[in-house]
Structure formats: structure tokens, C-alpha cells
Amino acid sequence: MEIVRREPAGPPAPGASAPDDFRARQLRARDMLRGDLEGADLDRFVEESVLTTTLDKALNWARSNALFPATFGLACCAIEMMSIVAARVDVARFGFEAFRASPRQADLLIISGRVSIKMAPVVRRIYDQMLEPKWAIAMGACSSSMGVFNNYAIVPADKFMPVDVHVPGCPPRPEALMHGVLKLQKMIQGHADEGWRTRYGGRGTEELIVPEAAAGTAVGASPPGDTAGA
């Protein structure tokens, strides 16, 4: 058996140089630090060692690979969402095993489970509390459409909040949810970041609270010790 050695064609790719180029690169790096590189040498150095891209692309690449999902398990789909954190379908490979409890620290809301009419304002409030940029995945049939139940008690998530990816299934397999999340990753990488209002035409729906009207209407306050006013 003979070993065929192939000579590399053209200039070596950055980081893939043969060992004898290493000394040359070291010297060039030293010259760079000293400010001695000029002209064509400088151009070549920059080409070899610096990745150029637009700021948007870099930001979107970083955002998509480090999504922090909010812990938002509602019903059966939540169990399959827990499965993607488990060892078989390991979501840590893609960078989002850190489920954040606080919506202020999360940028992905996975609505896993059926949204009842009592829960819908709560979901919307959590979504509003998340900081831009934020995305939402409607996991399962119940949150995308009404699912198995089409009755008085459920509302599909699209009625009250914008959803980026719908993952069908009842419940979707963990692999299906992973597919949905990876699709969302591609979406984030592909589009420059916009707020959800730009993405889904929600301009004109911002709420302005006039200062006089806000006095005396602190939402959700209850006097201490009063548990009966639920």
C-alpha cells in the first residue's frame, strides 16, 4: 500500500497551514503587533486571520446559538419539552439548555401545552416582559390551533401573540421540537434582527399610558394580609 501525499493547491486556508508556515506566521504576527506590516503584507494578514462579516450577521449568529428559553410548560407538551433537555435528545448541543425562569432573562418562549382562557393574559404578560429580541415557538397542536380540543376553554396562541414557529404534534416528539428550534435558529440567522412588531406588522398597537390616568390604578396590588381577593 502506498501513501499518496497530495500537495495543497493555492494559498493555504487560514488556520490550515503546514507546520513550516507556522514560523512565518509567527513572524508576521510579531510584525503586526509592532506595527511593521504594510501594504500587501497587511492585506494578506487580515485575510488570513480575521473573519469579516456584517455586524448584523455576527449578532444573529450569536443570538441563534445562545437562545435562552423561558420555562413555560403548560401541559403534556411540557413533558416532551423536558425530554429535550434530557440526555437522549440533548439540547445542550445547540446551546440552549439554560432554561431561564425569569422572562427578563429569556429570549425564547416555548408555549408548550394548551392555553386556556384564564392563562392567555398571563402568557401575554410574560411575553411582554421579555426583552427584545424575542421569539416564540408554539409547540404542539393545542397552542398552534386548538388541537384535540376545540371548545370554549382554549384559545390558540396566534390570537394574542405573534408566533414564529409552529411545531405540530400531540405531543411532538422531542426530535420534532428540536427540528422546530433549529428552524428558528435558521430564521434568526437569516434575517436581520427586527422587533416582533416589525416582523408581524404590529405597528400601531403600542399602548401609551397617559400619566394622569395611571394614578391610582396600580395593577395587581392587594393590601397585605388579604388573600381572599384572588
Partner 1 sequence: MSVSEYRQQEAAIDLSPAGQQLAERAPDQELMTLNIGPHHPATHGVLRLLVTLEGEVVRDLKPIIGYVHTGIEKTCEDKAYWKVIPVIERMDYLAYYFNAMAFCGAVETLLEVDVPPRAQYLRVIHLELNRIMSHLVWLGTSMLDLGAISMFWYAFRERERILDLFEQSSGQRMHTRYIQVGGVMEDIPAGFAEKVREFCAIMPSRVDQYEAILDRNEIVLQRLRHVCPLDAETLLGLGVTGPLLRAAGVPWDLRKADPYSSYDHFDFAVPVGTVGDNYDRYRVRMAEMRESVKIVEQALDGLPEGPHVTSDRKVALPPRHELSTSMEALIHHFKLVTEGFRVPPGEIYFPIESPRGELGCFVRSDGSSKPARVHMRDPSFVNLQAVAPMAKDAYIADLIATLAMLDPILGGIDR
Partner 2 sequence: MPDATGLELLAGELRDRDETLVRATLHFRGRGTLEVDPARVREVLEHLAERGYGFLASVHGVDYHPEEPRLGVLYELIDMEKVDRMTVKVRVPTDAAEVPSIVELHPGADHQEREVYDMFGVVFTGHPDLRRILMPEDYEGHPQRRDFPVGGEPIIFTQTEDRIPGWPEGGGIDP
**Window contacting partner 2 (CB under 8 A); options: 20-28, 51-59, 142-150, 184-192:** 142-150
> Judged by CB under 8 A, does residue 58 bind partner 1?
no
CA distance 84 to 169: 15
> Judged by CB under 8 A, does residue 145 bind partner 2?
yes
Cβ burial of 31 (10 Å; 0-12, 13-18, 19+) is: middle
> Judged by CB under 8 A, does residue 53 bind partner 2?
no
Near partner 1 by CB under 8 A: residue from 17, 83, 145, 189: 83
> Judged by CB under 8 A, does residue 131 bind partner 1?
no
Show contacts with partner 1 in window 190-229 (CB under 8 A).
Answer: 222, 224-228
> Judged by CB under 8 A, does residue 230 bind partner 2?
yes
Look at phi and psi of residue 220 and say left if phi exceeds 0, alpha if psi is from -120 to 50, else beta.
Answer: left
Residues shown for the chain: 230
Query: Out of partner 2, partner 1, none, which partner does residue 190 contact, by CB within 5 to 8 A per kind?
Result: none
Q: Map residue 73 onto helix, strand or coil.
A: strand
> Judged by CB under 8 A, does residue 174 bind partner 2?
no
Query: Out of partner 1, partner 2, none, which partner does residue 217 contact, by CB within 5 to 8 A per kind?
Result: none
Q: How many CB atoms lie within 10 A of CB 158?
A: 15
Query: Out of partner 1, partner 2, none, which partner does residue 42 contact, by CB within 5 to 8 A per kind?
Result: none
> DSSP character for 172?
P
Residue 8, CB-side half-sphere exposure with 13 Å CA sphere: 10
**Window contacting partner 2 (CB under 8 A); options: 29-37, 46-54, 161-169, 185-193:** 161-169
Q: Which residues of 115-147 are buried (b: 16+ CB within 10 A; e: fewer)?
A: bbeeebeebeebbeebeebbbbbbbbbbbbebb
Q: Select from 76, 90, 186 the least CA-distant residue to 139.
A: 76
> Judged by CB under 8 A, does residue 175 bind partner 2?
no
Shortest distance in whole angstroms from residue 181 CB to partner 2 = 18
* Positions in the binding site for partner 1 (CB under 8 A): 71-76, 78-80, 82-83, 85-88, 101, 103, 113-114, 116, 118-119, 122, 126, 148-154, 170-171, 173, 222, 224-228, 230
